[in-house]
Structure 1
Amino acid sequence: MSAPVAETPAPAPQPSAARPRATSFWRSTALPSLLSVVMALVVGAVLIALSDDDVRAASQYFFSRPTDTFVAVWQSVTQAYAALFRGSIINLSADSVAGVLGPLANTLLFATPLIAGGLAVAIPFRAGMFNIGTEGQITVAAVFAAYVGFAFALPPVVHLVAAVLAGLLGGALWGAIPGVLKATTGAHEVITTIMLNYVARFGILFALGTTYFQREGRADPISPPIPDTAALPALLPFGRLNWAFVIALAAAALAWWLINRSTVGFRLRAVGANPEAARTAGMSVPRTYVTAMVLAGTFAGVAGVSQVLGSEKVLTGGISAGLGFDAITVALLGRANPLGVVAAGLLFGGLKAGGLTMQATTGTSLDIVVVLQALIVLFIAAPALISAVFRLRSTGAGVGQLSKGWNG
């Protein structure tokens, strides 16, 4: 009889790659960003308390009745943040659907250009570039979209599509300029985009002073109104929220696909991680730089279109309203990840919408909201501080290494 053949033990099941990847994303990206927001809210609470009149009055007799000071601090902070919540999420004390859901609609309205602008900063990050020119790209996109909107008489659907495409084209062309300069001359995109911001800022003021753009009978720099045929339709029966929000979400989904599933995204990430290695592998680094900036300008064009065809429906010198610089903050908080950019845009939209209610209800200065945004960026840029405070493992790269640290 032959000896029995020993059975080969079945291989142990391997853990799914999706779970470690999701865990890594949570620990390295989501958790540090969330804790940065928490830290900013804590510091903001201190500032709110210090600026409150009742707190200062109670602190004058702190040693005789310390509880009065603590109660005043608690009331000032909770009332301010409760007003921030009511103005940004939901107002349960309202007596109509519009009043209850109006704050959320305002949050989504304010978040729309921030999401699109944040994508315009996040995409070049992946290629190792820092796009400071989102402000100018939004402005130029708005000029292109507005001109097609008020200067041409087209059928309703055709008019809207033409105006939107014109805005995207304007942003793409303005974004292509620093990309081409970097690819052909090596000019740093930070310098060129900053300078192009000034060109766009004063260029729109010049354009609004000409007969092509200035509204007839007006001496101030303002264009004719955007007709209904070229305006983005409302998304809800109340408020100013319009279909630009849906377009921004679609743009975020497209950006995620481009980065994670397309050949273009692979080249962007490869060049951002190591340009020399990408060049050795046969990739055209200059062409990748141009592609990144064209994509950035196109996404910024979504923000410009949302402003001029959606919420404002008129072109003015302040159409960008500093959104391009806020978009940098959104991209940093979102860690150059499209999903993170959406979340950060919603957060900053909520801060903007709720800050107005907070100021009107409690008298807390609206500048506190700006301080909160700055603190969030500060803590995002100091991951070692977040790790030390919350006893975490190293959270990875800071702001200066985002373009290389989030390519995986």
Structure 2
Amino acid sequence: MSEAPGTTATPEKPDGAAPEVKEPTGSRIIREMLSSSVAVTVGAIVLAILVGAILIVAADPAVQEAAGYFFARPGDFFSAAWNAASSAYIALFQGAIYDTQADTFSRGIRSLTESLTIATPLIFAGLGVALGFRAGLFNIGAQGQIIGGAILGTYLGFTLNLPAGLHTLLALLGALVGGGIMGAIPGFLKARFGAHEVIVTIMLNNIMAFGVLWVVTTSVFASSTPLVSQHIAPEAELGLMFGSGFRLHWGFVLALLAAAVVWWVLERSVFGFRLRAVGSNPHAAATAGMNVRTITVLALVFSGALAGLAGAMQVQGTEGALTASIAGTIGFDAITVALLGRSKPLGTVLAGILFGALAAGGRLMQTRTGTPIDLVPVLQSLIVLFIAAPPLVRAVFRLPTPGQKRKPRKARSAQSQEVAA
């Protein structure tokens, strides 16, 4: 049968052939962003630092003054630009790793302990988001899950009267359950009704952000301090690792253990295999006999549980009580941490420590050099921007495309001679 001009013939599939199933857009985007190599990740960090240096130079008064007579004495401009960028990043390093201007070693190393303290809840929340990513799910609700875990963990922290150790454990379990419940809601709605987890988790973030404002004013939680709950019992606290001179608590060790457990679950357990299979191709997983709905719900439950433990780190580790701003921006930063860590437990730990170092170092950078601390979220955002654009990073650093093999030098030279001939 002839076809009308201008139309394209559609190839007919043989009888009995299975229809072609396209990969969901969300799963494809996650897979592409998380399949970047380590070189691309390092390149994204380097590019973010370079762009940050340009912003520091552009905002520095001395550089602006030297730019006014650039053609008369260009050396002054470049010298001022170098001093502005180098002094800011040196102060950032001193505030994040070791303060070389401190009087004693303990005061100098306090910078590193602060970085690890800030990184602890980021690691927990980042692991939760990463677990969702491996299942092909955009869990944007870590912020609300942190608050849910913090609320239940705080309640158990000041209402129970138990010996130390047991009280700490029960409060941690309460935070885990609180976060898990907040993760189960979008999981059930997605599995049962097909509701998109991004929309549901964003709405839950708003609900919990306003909900915690109400919770801290109730008669059960309220204290003499406005918008701050009763203090949890000392027996429920995690305890400091190096004494009262440092804020680093034993929650950092728990974060490392959690990363090891998540790695084992993802890489060595049957559930982890099924979770990764659903994340790669849910249709193929269903064809293989896997219960995609159940795995979806469980993935978001475990993801929320890990985020809930991040809330416990805030309450039992550093704050000691539930506050209206207990989650800060940890839940949103965790998305960046998971992306930077490529949803791998080790990568997430390292990314969490990096972001903790940026946050801790930014304070000293602002104090000593006057560079606005707002540079820190700018750097974090730039890292995500470059991570989300691997072709750009590969083009800048001339990195090979994944799956593309470089031709041997002899073969290239022979080919060039053939073209010349």
- AA at the equivalent of 1:175: G
Secondary structure of the equivalent of 2:37? helix
Which of residues 220, 239, 259 in structure 2 aligns to 1:233? 239
1:54-109 CA-to-partner distances (Å, cap 9, x unmatched) read 10111111100000000000101110000000000011221223211100000000
1:338-367 CA-to-partner distances (Å, cap 9, x unmatched) read 111111101100000000000000000111
Instruction: Report the Cα distance in structure 2 between the residues aligned to 1:204 and 1:371, rounded to whole angstroms.
Output: 28
Deviating more after overlay: 387-396 vs 83-92: 387-396
Contact 2:36–2:390 under 8 Å retained in 1: no
Aligned to 1:307: 314
Aligned to 1:186: 194
Aligned to 1:339: 346
Secondary structure of the equivalent of 1:94? coil
1:232-289 CA-to-partner distances (Å, cap 9, x unmatched) read 1101122111011111111111111111111111011101111111011110000010
Instruction: Report the Cα distance in structure 2 between the residues aligned to 1:255 and 1:29, rounded to whole angstroms.
Output: 21
Secondary structure of the equivalent of 1:156? coil
1:28 to partner: Cα distance: 4.0
Stretches of 4+ aligned residues off by more than 3 angstroms: none
Instruction: Report the Cα distance in structure 2 between the residues aligned to 1:274 and 1:114, rounded to whole angstroms.
Output: 29
Which of residues 349, 361, 377 in structure 2 aligns to 1:354? 361
27 and 309 in structure 1: CA distance in 2 versus 1, 3 angstrom threshold = closer
Contact 1:221–1:317 under 8 Å retained in 2: yes
Report whether the alignment pairs 1:330 with 2:315: no
Instruction: Report the Cα distance in structure 2 between the residues aligned to 1:51 and 1:253, rounded to whole angstroms.
Output: 43
Which of residues 68, 74, 77 in structure 1 aligns to 2:82? 74
1:227 to partner: Cα distance: 2.0
| Structure 2: stretches of 5+ with no match in the other structure | 1-33, 404-421
Instruction: Report the Cα distance in structure 2 between the residues aligned to 1:93 and 1:253, rounded to whole angstroms.
Output: 36
Aligned to 1:116: 124
1:206 to partner: Cα distance: 1.1
1:361-396 CA-to-partner distances (Å, cap 9, x unmatched) read 000011111111110000000000001101111258
Aligned to 2:101: 93
Where do residues 157-236 of structure 1 align in structure 2 (5 Å cutoff)?
Answer: 157-215=165-223, 217-218=224-225, 220-236=226-242
Calculate the aligned-residue CA RMSD, in Å.
Answer: 1.3
Contact 1:247–1:302 under 8 Å retained in 2: no
Instruction: Report the Cα distance in structure 1 between the residues aligned to 2:237 and 2:182, rounded to whole angstroms.
Output: 23
Report whether the alignment pairs 1:394 with 2:411: no
Instruction: Report the Cα distance in structure 2 between the residues aligned to 1:35 and 1:221, rounded to whole angstroms.
Output: 43
Which of residues 128, 140, 150 in structure 1 aligns to 2:148? 140
- AA at the equivalent of 1:356: R
Which of residues 253, 262, 266 in structure 1 aligns to 2:260? 253
1:286-333 CA-to-partner distances (Å, cap 9, x unmatched) read 001011001101110221110011011111110000100000010111
Aligned to 2:304: 297
Contact 1:167–1:304 under 8 Å retained in 2: yes
- AA at the equivalent of 1:386: V
Contact 2:35–2:342 under 8 Å retained in 1: no
Aligned to 2:59: 51
Aligned to 1:4: none
Secondary structure of the equivalent of 1:223? coil
Instruction: Report the Cα distance in structure 1 between the residues aligned to 2:329 and 2:57, rounded to whole angstroms.
Output: 29
- AA at the equivalent of 1:306: M
289 and 94 in structure 1: CA distance in 2 versus 1, 3 angstrom threshold = same
Instruction: Report the Cα distance in structure 1 between the residues aligned to 2:38 and 2:146, rounded to whole angstroms.
Output: 28
Aligned to 2:29: none
1:204 to partner: Cα distance: 1.1
Aligned to 2:285: 278
Instruction: Report the Cα distance in structure 1 between the residues aligned to 2:164 and 2:352, rounded to whole angstroms.
Output: 30
Instruction: Report the Cα distance in structure 2 between the residues aligned to 1:90 and 1:75, rounded to whole angstroms.
Output: 20
- AA at the equivalent of 2:186: P
Instruction: Report the Cα distance in structure 1 between the residues aligned to 2:135 and 2:99, rounded to whole angstroms.
Output: 42
Contact 1:119–1:338 under 8 Å retained in 2: yes
Contact 2:176–2:306 under 8 Å retained in 1: yes
- AA at the equivalent of 1:54: A
Instruction: Give the TM-score taking structure 2 as reference length.
Output: 0.86
Contact 1:384–1:395 under 8 Å retained in 2: no
Instruction: Report the Cα distance in structure 1 between the residues aligned to 2:37 and 2:104, rounded to whole angstroms.
Output: 39
Contact 1:383–1:395 under 8 Å retained in 2: no
- AA at the equivalent of 1:247: L
Sequence identity, in percent? 51
